[in-house]
Chains A and B, each alone.
Chain A
Amino acid sequence: MAALDIAKLDLDAIAAKERRAQGSSALIWLFAALLAIAWLVPFYYLLVSVFKTNAEYGLGHPLALPQSWQPILENVYEAWTKTRMGEGMFNSALYGIVGAGAAVFIAALAAYGLTRIDFRGKNFWFMLIFSGTIFPLQMYLIPLFIGYNKLGLNNSRLGMILFYTAICIPFPVLVLRNYMAGLPREMDEAARLDGCSEFRIFHSIVLPNCWGPMTALFLIQFTWVWNDLLFSMVLTSREEVRSLMNGLMVLQGSYAAQTPNVVMTATLLASLPTVVLFFLLRRHFMNGMKLQNL
């Protein structure tokens, strides 16, 4: 970089450039805002539809404001009973919380083994676990369906939890392996010399330092399980055990044309938990994004 020669700088030209830049940045802001509005149109449409009666939805413009807020009560009642949403919410929450929670804990154990203990062939064992992410989901479907039928695990909550736990393990292993490798090892060595067991070291020294990334990973995996449709379609058919998204899909399949307002209400209800979670814990979600970038 050449040294700046103040005398040679054309200050007027720089000021003009600044003014132009300011003008263009206002235009850029306007463009971003218009784009954001366009981005939100489907959500606006979703929000107004849940306040409309079936007749109102059919006659008016799809983006028109609702005439009254009251139809939402009827819509929620219809959507809730038709999809058996209470059970769906319970199942999805159960699969998400237990599946993602168990997976992140199991991944932390594996990452501890891979980073804090010296042994040969680390890469092989890591790749063995991580290889669970490289296959398209379609390669699991038929064997799981048939295997679950043989073992009596299909249409069972246990079967769903076991599979969701397994599929949620490999990615956190990658992230936590990188993270734990960066933690200093002096504390473990000292504890080891004092005769601490490895599990004690994991539990009282390493784990407390990993809550940040583990929380973010839990949220990412929970959202994935909550939003998954495919495996619930393949592994469950009974209403008592199917997930919320499965119920939504079935509702849309039967009532999409007849009662769009009810289908839209079910969609909003099914999406609220993860969306609210996102706005409450935005920071953790964004931390999770940083972890994905490793």
Chain B
Amino acid sequence: MTRTEQLASLPPIELMMREERRRARRRLWTALAFMSPALIFVGVFLLLPVAFNVYASMTKWAKFSGLDQYAGLANYQRLLSNPNFSTATGNTILWVVASFFLPAMLGLALALLVKGLKGEETFKSIYFLPRMFSATAVGVVWYYVYANEGILNSGLRAIGLEGLTRRWLYEEGIATPAMIVTHIWQQVGLTMVLLLLGLNALPSEPIEAAKVDGASRWGVFRHIVLPLLAPTILVVATVSVLAGFTSFDLVWVMGRDFPNRSTLTLAVNQYWESFRAGYWGYGAAIAVVLGVIAFSISWLLGALQQRLDRR
């Protein structure tokens, strides 16, 4: 057979391509069949609600009516003039800043402290333990820790610091930081474990080389460990801040008589306006604000991460 004859005996190129397209389509359908339960659950219970929430935030929906009345950005304008919203925003900003820096920094300090220490596993379990409790349970216990006759005040009295005792969960300017301390006590075990994994994955050569060259421990940490670990630290801080500033359970349990509380956050404000007061449209607008903050944080930190990776 000549080459021309060989080619002629093959099926035409279009047929082959059509066959290949058919196979590709079948593979797509098979893959979709495998993904369909996940897609249906996520679509129906998560994505659809988010879309509906955005729509609802632009309606006059309150109590039992108004879902069909378009309100434009009126709910968002109302946010700006509501004193509860400003209190909540101020506290939420504090939560964002604190839960970005503190869990990662203190977690790193703990990781460096216990790494290679005798009984490392025991120390790790102890620092991690609060994380196995629910935020509700932690909130209940620390509600009593901060109580008037609670262990913090009686501890301060015992060491002669009577002057420092106070009503921790009721004084303005102290109550929110007190709750943040509780939150960090609970979360820092997790960041410690994650950062220890990062530390143990670092290449050992540059660190050993620097030690042999006589670098101090601080020098090794500052100039070698920290730059190598920076991407991990950033991931840990990102996860912490995204979970931290929307935390509801702890603030709800430790604070009482909302909404006129100095500890109000956007998450609690959102719950209150919707489920207690019945201002659905307005509550939906607060949820959108929380979403926008989450997106901005993710975007900002994602960009930072890319710069770190490129270095």
**A residues neighboring B (CB under 8 Å):** 1-2, 4, 25, 28-29, 31-32, 35-36, 39-43, 45-46, 49, 61-63, 103, 106-107, 109-110, 112-114, 117-121, 125, 128-129, 131-132, 134-147, 162-163, 165-167, 169-170, 173, 198, 202, 223, 226-230, 233-234, 245, 248-249, 252-253, 256, 260, 263-264, 267, 270-271, 274-275, 277-279, 282, 286, 289-290, 292-293
Contact = CB atoms under 8 A, between A and B. Distances in A.
A202 B265 CA distance: 46
A271 B136 CA distance: 10
Contacts of B248: 137-138, 229-230
B134 A270 contact: yes
B246 A293 contact: no
Contact of B49 (A118, A144, A289): A144
B127 A249 contact: no
A74 B143 CA distance: 23
Nearest to A131: B47
Interface stretch (B96-104, B112-120, B160-168): B112-120
B221 interface: no
What are the nearest 6 A-B pairs in CB distance?
Answer: A113-B34, A227-B134, A166-B45, A143-B49, A110-B38, A113-B31
Interface string B111-146: 001100111000101110110111111001111110
B38 A32 contact: no
19 contacts: A45-B141, A49-B144, A109-B38, A135-B46, A135-B294, A138-B248, A139-B288, A140-B49, A141-B270, A142-B274, A142-B280, A143-B49, A143-B52, A228-B134, A233-B275, A234-B271, A234-B275, A245-B137, A289-B194
Contact of A110 (B24, B35, B232, B267): B35
Interface of A is mostly: helix
Contacts of A121: 28
A143 to B, nearest CB: 4
Contacts of B286: 138
A109 B35 contact: yes
B42 A252 contact: no
A32 B114 contact: yes
A28 B130 CA distance: 23
B136 A249 contact: yes
B27 A230 contact: no
Contacts of B134: 226-229, 245, 270-271, 274
A170 to B, nearest CB: 6
Given A112-B34, A142-B280, A229-B252, A256 B132 contact: no
B298 A134 contact: yes
- Indicate the member of B123, B126, B137, B275 with the most A CB atoms within 10 Å: B137
Interface stretch (B3-11, B70-78, B148-156, B222-230): B148-156
B24 A119 contact: yes
A283 B113 CA distance: 22
Contacts, number: 263
Contacts of A113: 30-35
Query: Which of B34, B118, B136, B270 has the most CB atoms of chain A within a 10 A radius of its CB?
Result: B136
B37 A267 contact: no
Contacts of B43: 128
B14 interface: no
Interface string B266-288: 11001100110000100110111
B211 to A, nearest CB: 10
Given A32-B113, A137-B246, A260 B144 contact: yes
Given A36-B123, A136-B290, A292-B194, A229 B135 contact: yes
Nearest to A63: B151
B244 to A, nearest CB: 11
Contacts of A270: 134, 136-137
Nearest to A248: B136
Contact of A28 (B42, B113, B125): B113
A252 B246 CA distance: 22
Contacts of B105: none
Contact of B194 (A117, A145, A223, A293): A293
B44 interface: yes
A198 B30 CA distance: 8
Contact of B213 (A2, A140, A167, A253): A2
Interface string B236-254: 0000000000101100110
Nearest to B120: A32
A223 B134 CA distance: 9
A282 B166 CA distance: 39
A267 B140 contact: yes
B118 A29 contact: yes
Contacts of B290: 136, 138-139
B89 interface: no
Interface in B200-226: 209, 212-213
Given A113-B30, A138-B290, A230-B248, A275 B129 contact: yes
Contacts of B30: 113, 117, 198
A233 B135 CA distance: 14
